[in-house]
Amino acid sequence: MNITKNLIVAILMTVVTTLLLGVAYPLVVTGLAQVLFPDKSNGQLIQRDGTLIGSRIIGQRFSSPGYFRGRPSAAGTGYDAANSGGTNLGPTNRKLVDAVKAGVEAARKENPKGCGVRGAECDVPIDLVTSSASGLDPHISPAAAVFQVPRVARERGVNETDLQRLVDAHTIGRQFGILGEPVVNVLELNLALDARMPVKK
């Protein structure tokens, strides 16, 4: 009799907790998120002329020299939101060392003027040659954006100082003034670039 009673209690408890925590709670949280934070709960999607072009929170590849580049991605085949992940290579791993060296050489070749308006030459920012843990980081450091200013300015036929002002305007400061580091959202910067400084044909 005790075993039967305990079994019934266990089954009822499983059903009740499943309904509460597996159905009711997610529905309530999702509903509140849709009402209070519709943009954030739907992936912070960005549309241009009615066409979906990306998300503020997922990086994407920019191959044209007239655009700022984001961090390299090790997510799937690159920036694959279904396969988020890093390389998991340690700092002494030869594969990582070789990849960083190759990345530095490529960055210097593509950006021979280095830091442009902020100096004749500077080190290649680490975030331009290493991927993030998620492989989907939409941000780069202000230093990584500044490093690319001469190349983008040259390709767009614009003044480096004007382009630097655009980078500064799209630099996001520390959260609450103390948390994290300043960053630049690459997609938003490139969209502003297209709107204000289109490629001269």
Residue 200 has pLDDT above 70, yes or no: no
Mean pLDDT of 100-126: 76
Do 72 and 11 lie in a common domain?
no
**Torsional sign, CA 64, 65, 66, 69:** positive
In a domain, 63, yes or no: yes
Do 157 and 62 lie in a common domain?
yes
Do 164 and 185 lie in a common domain?
yes
Do 120 and 60 lie in a common domain?
yes
Residue 171 has pLDDT above 90, yes or no: yes
In a domain, 48, yes or no: yes
Number of domain units in the chain: 2
Q: What is the CA radius of gyration of the chain?
A: 23
For residue 35, what are its two tokens? 């009402």
**In whole angstroms, what is the distance from residue 199 CA to residue 111 CA?**
18
Do 8 and 80 lie in a common domain?
no
pLDDT of residue 131: 87
In a domain, 129, yes or no: yes
In a domain, 87, yes or no: yes
Mean pLDDT of 76-105: 86
Mean pLDDT of 107-134: 77
In a domain, 149, yes or no: yes
Do 142 and 168 lie in a common domain?
yes
Do 34 and 61 lie in a common domain?
no
Do 77 and 157 lie in a common domain?
yes
Number of H helices, E strands in the chain: 7, 5
In a domain, 104, yes or no: yes
In a domain, 201, yes or no: no
Residue 125 has pLDDT above 70, yes or no: yes
Confidence of residue 50 (pLDDT cuts 50, 70, 90): confident
Q: How many angstroms separate the first and last alpha carbons of the chain?
A: 86
**Sequence-distant (≥ 6) Cβ neighbours of residue 157 within 8 angstroms:** 199, 200
Domain containing 53 equals 44-196
Which of 33, 32, 30, 55 has the alpha carbon at shortest distance from 44?
55
Distance of CA 28 to the CA centre of its chain: 29
Mean pLDDT of 173-181: 87
Do 10 and 107 lie in a common domain?
no
Do 116 and 30 lie in a common domain?
no
For residue 120, what are its two tokens? 């004749």
Do 121 and 33 lie in a common domain?
no
